[in-house]
Structure 1
Amino acid sequence: MSEGNHYHQVLDDLGPQHRALRKMIPDVYRGFAEMSNGALNSGALDKKVKELIAMAIGVVAGCDGCIASHAQGAVRAGASKEEAAEAIGVSIVMHGGPATIYGARAYDAFCEFADSARANRALTGPTSG
């Protein structure tokens, strides 16, 4: 289980780099955002499942930024630690040994964001809606 804010830091560190590149190629980023929203919005599969799939693909790709982004997205969409672990398990089946390394990282990232969200809810109380 995560003991720090490593994956929060991964996203924070990538922010300025993404903003700088987005300034240079805004059309590419706009197109990517549109494609990403279209792919991840709920449809036959809900957003939670799609974020878990994306996180598992991040494991196979060995992409810490992808893992962090989609672990956070899965938490926000209501995924549980058990669901995250099972999605990571599928990536291990499909990718073998290397996925055990990034799978462990992905589970750590998911737990970090889930624990942070739980702590924030405890501080602010239940949300209405």
Structure 2
Amino acid sequence: MNWQELMARTLEECGNFAKEVPDLIGAYEQMGKVAKADGALSQKTKEFMALGIAIATRCDSCIGFHVQALVRLKTTREEFCEGLAMATYMGGGPSYAFSAKALNAYDVFSK
């Protein structure tokens, strides 16, 4: 999988949709800012939670977005693999395959 191309295409498609429903997407983006803000849980912890959900739901573009966020938050490969271990444990075989995809995305985005 080419993660760079997938994410570029996803951003383009989301941008096109956002033009059609700007109020909805504006509200969604505002909800994201509130949900992701540091609080009792760090932003990094919240991004790991989101990545686990993305793996469980098998959403490649969601995996890409949350891996990029974790790279931006300076997540080490060791931290990342521990998070993937938990996602795999909770989700079984399908999560194992999508955790492997997420690790590939981490390696691509952390270069």
Q: TM-score range by the shorter chain?
A: over 0.9
Q: How far apart, CA to CA, are the structure 2 residues paired with 1:18 and 1:33?
A: 12
Question: Does 2:17 align with 1:21?
Answer: yes
Look at both structures and tell me which one has the larger radius of gyration over its CA atoms: 1
SS of alignment partner, residue 43 of structure 1: coil
Aligned to 1:97: 93
Q: CA offsets, 1:46-72, max 9 Å, x none?
A: 112211221121111100100000000
Q: Percent identity?
A: 29
User: Which residue among 82, 102, 107 is the counterpart of 1:86?
Assistant: 82
Aligned to 1:108: 104
Gaps of 5+ in 2: none
**TM-score for the superposition, normalised by structure 1:** 0.81
Gaps of 5+ in 1: 116-129
Q: CA offsets, 1:91-125, max 9 Å, x none?
A: 1111111001101001111121112xxxxxxxxxx
Aligned residues: 111
Shift of 1:27: 1.2
Could you say which structure has the greater relative contact order, defined with CA pairs below 8 angstroms and 6 or more residues apart? 1
**TM-score for the superposition, normalised by structure 2:** 0.93
Detail structure 1 runs of 4+ shifted over 3 Å in the superposition.
none
